[in-house]
């Protein structure tokens, strides 16, 4: 039997000099400066500061970089503060805490100013080439954030947990990445079908788009939480397209089964081919042209398992079923819906929404509700900054990689700082597989114009 190889043995000493880590995170910090994000974040926050105080835009910008780099608490800012040759002068943890816990909540427009700053920077980023190539798809989605202590606004959730229930809107760019357009922090007991929250978030999201893009066709996607008459009516009023899911209850099942045989037609798969012949063993998808009424602009249902059509009974009382209300590709007027299995979502259904949850949303760090709302906003700004970095500076697989992959391969790259001929040079190990990618990204970054 071959002996098991042991791990290499080595000594660890702390006598190195000019060694730095998080070299890739400096890429995000410089991108924020070049796009004008740092300036815009501090445009209102710098009002009334005493002389010598840290620029509040720089404080918020550093927090955004720290969150994009994987930080999950304010004290993680020390990773940037300890490397001034990469990140400049970074404020202390107490200063950052005071900005988030005291100054922003005290400003009536503090949170709104952050979203307004992101919207202004988006125009610059899109003008430089970060605009999505396809149609504009807005995904509304909510998530649950657990609270491990009694915090303001924390309440029991519908999943028998305790915490918060934030609702956000992201722009699906069609390549797996998404920009945050709006977000609100809600108590844990906030209703999933609260139409007022969906209306507010949608309005914020539309304001977050550049003015020239608001006239383009826009598709709004949402799960069953958005299946309210008020929300769908508002989408129609705005002349937007929509795809909103809802539970296919017994009433919908009876309506489907009550249709004549002639009402069923073979549906088409997302790749453009027929889904199967009626009644065949492989038949899983069928088009059901149900007339649309004033209270149901359109319907479609999906159930697990093959269901030949026409049918005289529902597949099973325990079958999971969903449905969606969908508008036409050419106008908000509803079209005949399609009924599909849950394993084969339609191209216009909500198949992707929010990016993966970042580490900073595992637990909100403050006891005050407004401070946690500011923290949530900065997390979503960080998500958007990473998205722009992928669109403007990266290509290949890393241009559509998940944030965790970027952190391990790029943001956390180590290097050595060299001073030569009045220049500061960061040397990355040539054996690092993504060293050339990071060097090329910095080259593209330095070619971008600087917005003052």
pLDDT of 323: 57
Q: Report which of 205, 206, 193, 204 is spatially closest to residue 232, judged by C-alpha positions.
A: 193
| Intra-chain end-to-end CA distance of the chain, in Å | 67
pLDDT of 248: 74
DSSP string, 40-81: HHHHHHTTTPPTTPPPHHHHHHHHHHHHHTT--SGGGGHHHH
Reduce the DSSP state of residue 323 to 3 states and report it.
strand
Q: Per-residue pLDDT tens for 399-444?
A: 999 999 999 999 999 999 999 888 899 999 999 999 999 999 999 9
Rounded Cα gap, residues 365 and 340, in angstroms = 42
Q: Per-residue pLDDT tens for 150-186?
A: 899 999 998 999 999 999 999 998 888 889 999 999 9
b/e string for 211-232 if b means 16 or more Cβ within 10 A?
Answer: eebeeeebbbbbbbbbbbeebb
The percentage of the chain sitting over the pLDDT mark of 90, rounded to a whole number, equals 54
Q: What is the pTM of this model?
A: 0.82
Give the helix/strand (H/E) hosting 119. helix 110-125
Q: What is the domain partition of the chain in residue ranges? A: 132-339
Tell me the pLDDT of the chain (452 aa) as tens digits: 566 777 888 888 888 888 899 999 999 999 999 999 999 998 877 766 666 678 889 999 999 999 999 999 999 999 999 899 999 999 999 999 999 999 888 888 889 999 999 999 999 999 999 999 878 999 999 999 999 888 999 999 989 999 999 999 999 988 888 899 999 999 999 998 899 999 999 999 999 999 999 988 999 999 888 888 899 999 999 999 988 887 777 777 777 777 777 766 665 554 455 554 344 333 334 444 433 333 333 333 333 333 334 455 555 554 444 556 566 555 444 443 333 333 333 333 334 446 677 888 888 999 999 999 999 999 999 999 999 999 999 999 999 999 999 999 999 999 999 998 888 999 999 999 999 999 999 999 999 988 75
Q: Report which of 392, 401, 400, 383 is spatially closest to residue 130, judged by C-alpha positions.
A: 392
Tokens at 301, concatenated = 């249902």
Q: What is the 3-state secondary structure (H, E, C) of 400-442?
A: HCCHHHHHHHHHCCCEEEEEECCEEEEECCCCCCCHHHHHHHH
Reduce the DSSP state of residue 156 to 3 states and report it.
strand
Rounded Cα gap, residues 317 and 309, in angstroms = 17
Rounded Cα gap, residues 344 and 5, in angstroms = 47
Cα 6 to chain centroid, rounded: 43
């Amino acid at each position: 039997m071959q002996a098991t190889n042991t791990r290499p043995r080595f000594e660890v000493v702390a006598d190195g000099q000019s060694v730095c880590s998080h070299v890739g995170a400096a890429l995000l910090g410089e991108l924020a400066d070049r796009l004008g994000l740092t300036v815009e974040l501090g445009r209102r926050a710098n009002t009334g500061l005493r002389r010598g105080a840290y620029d509040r835009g720089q404080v918020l910008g550093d927090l955004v970089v720290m969150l994009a780099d994987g930080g999950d608490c304010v004290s993680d800012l020390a990773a940037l503060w300890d490397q001034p040759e990469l990140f400049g002068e970074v404020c202390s943890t107490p200063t950052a805490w005071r900005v988030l816990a005291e100054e922003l909540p005290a400003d009536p427009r503090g949170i709104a100013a952050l979203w307004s700053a992101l919207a202004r920077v988006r125009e610059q980023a899109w003008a430089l080439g970060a605009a999505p190539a396809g149609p504009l798809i807005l995904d509304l989605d909510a998530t649950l954030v657990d609270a491990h202590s009694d915090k303001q606004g924390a309440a029991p959730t519908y999943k028998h947990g305790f915490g918060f229930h934030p609702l956000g809107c992201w722009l699906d760019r069609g390549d797996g990445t998404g920009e945050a357009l709006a977000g609100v922090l809600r108590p844990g007991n906030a209703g999933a079908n609260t139409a007022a929250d969906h209306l507010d978030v949608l309005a914020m999201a539309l304001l977050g788009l550049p003015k020239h893009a608001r006239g383009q066709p826009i598709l709004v996607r949402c799960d069953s939480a958005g299946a309210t008459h008020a929300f769908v009516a508002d989408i129609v009023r705005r002349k937007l397209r929509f795809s909103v899911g809802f539970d296919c209850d017994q009433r919908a099942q009876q309506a489907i089964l009550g249709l004549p045989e002639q009402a069923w037609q073979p549906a088409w798969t997302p790749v453009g081919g027929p889904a199967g012949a009626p009644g065949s063993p492989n038949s899983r998808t069928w088009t059901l042209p149900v007339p649309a009424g004033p209270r149901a602009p359109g319907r479609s249902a999906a159930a697990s398992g093959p269901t030949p059509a026409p049918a005289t009974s529902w597949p099973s009382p325990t079958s999971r079923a969903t449905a969606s209300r969908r508008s036409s590709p050419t106008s908000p007027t509803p079209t005949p819906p399609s009924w599909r299995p849950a394993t084969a979502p339609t191209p216009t259904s909500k198949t992707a929404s929010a990016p993966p949850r970042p580490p900073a949303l595992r637990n909100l760090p403050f006891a005050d509700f407004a401070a946690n709302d500011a923290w949530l906003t900065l997390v979503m700004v960080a998500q958007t900054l990473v998205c722009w970095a992928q669109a403007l500076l990266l290509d290949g697989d890393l241009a559509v990689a998940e944030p965790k992959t970027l952190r391990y391969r790029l943001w956390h790259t180590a290097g050595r700082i060299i001073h030569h001929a009045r220049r500061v040079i960061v040397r990355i190990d040539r054996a690092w597989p993504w060293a050339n990618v990071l060097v090329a990204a910095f080259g593209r970054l330095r070619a971008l114009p600087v917005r003052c």
